[in-house]
Structure 1
Amino acid sequence: MNTPARLSLYGLGLVAAFGTAFLVSGAVVPDAVVADRIAATEDGHGGGHEDAAAAAPEAAGAALPGLSLEADGYSLSPVAAPAAVGEEGELAFTVLDPNGDPLREYTEEHEKDLHLIVVRSDGSEFRHVHPEIDDAGEWTIPWSWDEAGTYRVFTDFTPGTADAGVTLTRTISVEGDFAPVAVEDEVREATAGDFDVTLSGDLAAGGSSTLSLEVSRDGEPVTTMEPYLGAFGHLVALRDGDLAYLHVHPEGAEPEPGQVSGPTVEFATEAPTAGRYLLYFDFQVDGEVHSASFVLSTSGEATAATEAPAETDAPAESPAPADDGHDDSH
């Protein structure tokens, strides 16, 4: 792993590359635009061929990385997957290069050429896995669904000739009775197998903070956390409402083979906008990977860029600003 990675949550403004800090502009894309883009990527069970980037304004595509099936010239094919709960099959897709050909060359990041994240629209049913690629450039992995609903599929990778990573996504639906899970405003304690995980720290909109995750078992701190994909822990953050995505890693140098750590892993964080965030922490002990889920809402007041300006005493004769037909509010 390179220099300590900072957790950067996708927001609006400057497009952030994988593992880099996120900077936010003052503008917020309306929820309707986000909904339109997500709807444009929906293709039932992966059979649609609509290009979400063409279905929504170009500016929205640039401002919402991780929500598009096309970025930097690369695009994600329709995703094939079992149609219903309990049906056995495989999940398959192809990443296309700027020429429309299957991408075959990748730069390894965190010991894998591609990271696949699948999560239901309500934030439940989270999976972080690693499919295999064949000679034709198609990625596949054995797959079945435990629950029905609408799912977001994220592919996180670095093309072999690129300087930065790319995150592409599609939406697919799974037949069956759908019972959405209510999302709480805050969840700081979670159970993952035999382990208890506690999250401390806060997210501040527009500011930096540190999140700490502490792992214990039977009331005792766990100090045998093993390297997993080149780190002692991984954190995926999704912004509730649009599921903007970034896969991140903890602070610290890459662990040496055989090295263990624990019970605490820390992440430097920057929340780009006020709101609620869904966090998924993966760690490995005794050769088995465990995942713990959390929810945090930003604390503190809005940043200066989003606060209303203070009232001032203007001269009585000052004319009102002309209405130029543009809405300058953010």
Structure 2
Amino acid sequence: MNAIAKVGAFAGAVVALGGLGSAVGASVGPIGEPERPTHQKHEAGNSGHGRQGGHAGHGAKKAPEATGLNVSQAGYTLDLVEDRPQRSASATLRFRILGSDHEPVTRFETAHGKLLHLIVVRRDLATYEHLHPVMADDGTWSVTADLAAAGTYRVFADFRPAAEAEGLTLGQDLFVGGPYEPQPLPAAAATSTVSPYAVNLDGHLVAGQTSRLTLTVTRDGEPVTDLEPYLEAYGHLVALRDGDLAYLHVHPEGAPDDGRTDPGPEITFSAEVPSAGTYRLFLDFKHAGEVCTAAFTAVADAH
């Protein structure tokens, strides 16, 4: 899936920044350790947009750009039809991608089997959905999302207009009213359980350089060696920077039909995060006909 601005690099795969299912805006310069919101109970629906940081210090290597932070980039705008939807486990989200002429864009290139990928995540990173909307003839996209929990959400649209050589990821906030108590981010851990699966993360993120991450999938303690292709890959990894939710989407090394990539238990990625700090990683994988999501908290060290 081509993302909304590149920040990652990986061998033999497509990395995109922008724009995982049973468990877990234009680019700006990198920021330092992001601040987490104060965990105070309040009424959702009046929150502002997330803070964007300044620039990191000078270094020998230019850090990759953060992406997914702005609602507009390169002449395109993510336009939510309703940014304050009713609280519902089956809420309908409708949006358009507007061009520089402020008219809806209706021609897109397919990326990893879909014309557009939508990521919906609450800002405390407690909820996550990877969705695939359907576009009407007038350029309005629609999809059902789980917005049962009150709070401020970030919506990322990951797409490539037919007129462009590269993909984009645009982001916009939406607000779901009701009593809202932000959840603390889980501590960093090497294993995520998505019953009956366990996924182990081996590798460490270092800002500004390629980090090799290997995720190993087991079921009831046994290695899973028959993962199924999902969106033309054995796994998809999304990383969101804690605080401002800078977005990174990485696809794995190899492909299901290349004759050399095994269908598990290991899925290997090479990712490059834009700054030191805490990230939440979401892995989508498919097995036995079901798409599952494993989530990890990972801390990236300074280069």
Q: Normalising by structure 1, what TM-score? A: 0.72
Identity of aligned residues (%): 41
Q: Find the aligned partners of 1:92 and 1:153 in 2 and give their Cα distance.
A: 11
| Deviation, structure 1 residue 143 | 3.2
Contact 1:82 1:89 in 2 (8 A): no
Q: 1:136 aligns with which of 135, 138, 145?
A: 138
C-alpha spacing 1:8/1:85, structure 2 compared with 1 (3 Å): same
**For 2:258 and 2:76, how far apart are their aligned partners in 1?**
34
2:105 paired residue number: 103
Structure number, greater radius of gyration: 1
Residues 106, 30 of structure 1: CA spacing in aligned structure 2 closer, same or farther, 3 A cutoff? Answer: same
Residues 1:298 and 1:89: Cα distance change in structure 2 (over 3 Å): closer
1:20–1:174 CA distance, 2 compared to 1 (3 A): closer
Give 1:291's aligned residue: 293
1:19 aligns with 2:21: no
Greater share of residues in strand: 2
CA distance in 2, matches of 1:85, 1:21: 29
Per mean C-alpha deviation after superposition, the further-off stretch among 266-275 and 246-255 is 246-255
- Do the aligned partners of 1:275 and 1:298 also contact (CA within 8 Å) in 2? yes
Runs of 4+ that moved beyond 6 A? none
CA gap 1:202/1:216 in 2 versus in 1, 3 angstroms: same
Q: Does the aligned pair in 1 maintain the 2:205–2:273 contact within 8 Å?
A: yes
User: Secondary structure of 1:280's partner?
Assistant: strand
- Map of 1:1-330 to 2, 5 A cutoff? 8=8, 19-20=15-16, 64-80=66-82, 83-86=85-88, 88-255=90-257, 261-299=263-301, 302-303=302-303
Question: Structure 1 pair 197/231, CA: closer, same or farther in 2 (3 Å)?
Answer: same
- Asked if the contact 2:8–2:273 (Cα under 8 Å) also holds between the matched residues in 1, the reply is yes
Partner of 2:24: none
Cα displacement (A) at 1:88: 4.3
Whole-Å Cα distance in 2 between the matches of residues 111 and 224 of structure 1? 21
Contact residue 240 and residue 280 of structure 2 kept, 8 A: yes
2-structure distance, mates of 1:263, 1:88: 33
2:178 is paired with a residue whose SS is: coil
Native 8 Å contact 1:223 1:262 kept in 2: yes
Q: Using the TM superposition, give the Cα deviation of residue 87 of structure 1 relative to its aligned residue in structure 2, in angstroms.
A: 6.2
Say whether the 8 Å CA contact 1:185–1:297 is kept in structure 2.
Answer: no
Residue 165 of structure 1, CA deviation: 0.5
Per-residue displacement from partner, 1:209-254 (whole Å, max 9, x unpaired)?
Answer: 2101010011100011000000000000111111000222101135
**Per-residue deviation at 1:31?**
8.9
Partners in 1 of 2:271 and 2:33 — Cα distance? 24
Unmatched segments (≥5 aa) in structure 2: 19-28, 38-44, 56-64
Structure 1 segments unaligned to the other structure (5+ residues)? 10-17, 36-43, 304-330
Say if 1:81 and 1:89, in contact at 8 Å, map to a contact too.
no
Structure 1: distance between partners of 2:100 and 2:225: 46
Change (3 A) 1:28 1:284: closer
Q: Give the match's secondary structure for 1:117.
A: strand
1:74 Cα deviation (Å)?
0.3
Cα distance, 1:288–1:87 mapped onto 2, change above 3 Å: closer
Partner amino acid for 1:113?
L
SS at match of 1:238: strand
Counterpart CA distance in 2 for 1:88 and 1:265 is 32
Task: Name the structure where helix makes up a greater proportion of residues.
Answer: 1
The 1:81–1:141 alpha-carbon spacing in structure 2 relative to 1, beyond 3 Å, is: farther
- Aligned residues of 1:185 and 1:276 also touching (Cα < 8 A): no
Give the TM-score, by structure 2 length. 0.78
Larger RCO: Structure 1 or Structure 2 (Cα < 8 Å, ≥ 6 residues apart)? 2
Q: Supply the AA of the counterpart residue of 2:172.
A: R
The 1:70–1:7 alpha-carbon spacing in structure 2 relative to 1, beyond 3 Å, is: closer
Pick closer, same or farther for the CA change 1:73–1:175 going to 2, 3 Å: same
SS of residue in 1 equivalent to 2:211: strand
Instruction: Give the letter aligned to residue 120 of structure 1.
Output: R
